[in-house]
Amino acid sequence: MAGDEVYGADPRLRATIRRHGLGYVLQIAANRRVPTTAGPIRVDRLPDLLPPWVWQKRSAGAGSKGHRYYSWAWIALLPENPRDTGQHHVLIRRNDTTGELAYHRCYSPRPVPLDTLVRVAGQRWRIEKSFQCAKTLTGSDQHQVRRWTSWHRWTTLAMLAHAFLTVATAAEHDETPTPTGLIALTVHEFRRLFDALLLTPRPSLDKLLAWSIWRRRHQARARDCDYKRRENQ
């Protein structure tokens, strides 16, 4: 499981997850204390105590502008509860460009490598991207909340529309491989084509597809150029 500081600050939530035999990577605030063999310590003091060689560069997943590379360090912690089993760590993420630091409390029922914790930490971007996608494509944040019933109906319809766009796009990926030189069909692009097909008087399917292919080819070139620039840096 992955989550932001709201979830990472809740000890009851962490304990419940551990009781279910699940792992987590939950972000915590810089002023939180964690149990170490040297006693409780604020997590924002830990980076100054680490030698340079412990930091390892890993990708937290692919973003819109390429892989999100950060430097990571992890430190073993004492269990929150003496009866706890499994592995407890604090995971520190450092942006080497800005120096910004982020901290995570981690737990796994069994030993896992650093790559696994980094991969789970990166899942937060996918979740936030899904929320943002639902807002921009299906208006999930454009309701006027006055009653529970109205909010429930609006949100349900927005989620249903988002699910339709997501499933239809995934089905297209399975049925039609992406041609060389194009980015894969995105949910946003599928929404544009869907709108144009329904709302344009007498739409020309050939023109719509040609317009989409031009956009995806241009985006693929921009992506490749950005990847090369990052590699050179």
Query: Quick one: 173 and 100 in the same domain?
Result: no
| pLDDT per position as a tens digit, 161-218 | 989 998 989 898 888 888 888 888 888 888 888 888 888 777 788 888 888 888 888 8
What confidence score (pLDDT) does residue 61 get?
Answer: 72
Query: Quick one: 72 and 157 in the same domain?
Result: no
Vertex 83 angle, CA 80 and 88, to 5°: 40
What are the tokens at 229?
């620039």
What are the tokens at 18?
């551990």
What confidence score (pLDDT) does residue 29 get?
Answer: 92
Q: How many structural domains is the chain composed of?
A: 2
List 40's β-bridge partners, or say none.
Answer: 35
Query: Which CATH number is 85's domain given?
Result: 3.90.350.10
> What is the share, in percent, of the chain residues with pLDDT greater than 70?
95
Query: Quick one: 7 and 57 in the same domain?
Result: yes
Query: Quick one: 126 and 31 in the same domain?
Result: yes
Is the CB of residue 118 less than 8 Å from the CB of residue 60? yes
What confidence score (pLDDT) does residue 133 get?
Answer: 81
Query: Quick one: 16 and 97 in the same domain?
Result: yes
What confidence score (pLDDT) does residue 153 get?
Answer: 87
Checking if the pLDDT of 142 tops 90, the result is no
Q: In sequence order, what are the residues at sequence separation of 6 or more whose Cβ sits closer than 8 angstroms to the Cβ of residue 140?
A: 131, 134, 154, 155, 158, 159, 162
Checking if the pLDDT of 157 tops 80, the result is yes
| pLDDT per position as a tens digit, 77-100 | 998 877 888 899 999 999 888 889
Residue 141 within any structural domain of the chain: no
Helix axes 114-138, 148-175, angle to 10 degrees: 110
Residue 143 within any structural domain of the chain: no
Query: Quick one: 181 and 225 in the same domain?
Result: yes
| pLDDT per position as a tens digit, 158-176 | 889 989 998 989 898 888 8
Checking if the pLDDT of 63 tops 70, the result is no
Query: Quick one: 224 and 116 in the same domain?
Result: no
Residue 138 within any structural domain of the chain: no
Q: What is the mean pLDDT of the chain?
A: 85
User: Which tops the pLDDT comparison, 91 or 128?
Assistant: 91
Residue 83 within any structural domain of the chain: yes
Checking if the pLDDT of 64 tops 60, the result is no
Write out the residue range of the structural domain in which residue 196 sits. Answer: 149-232
Confidence (pTM): 0.68
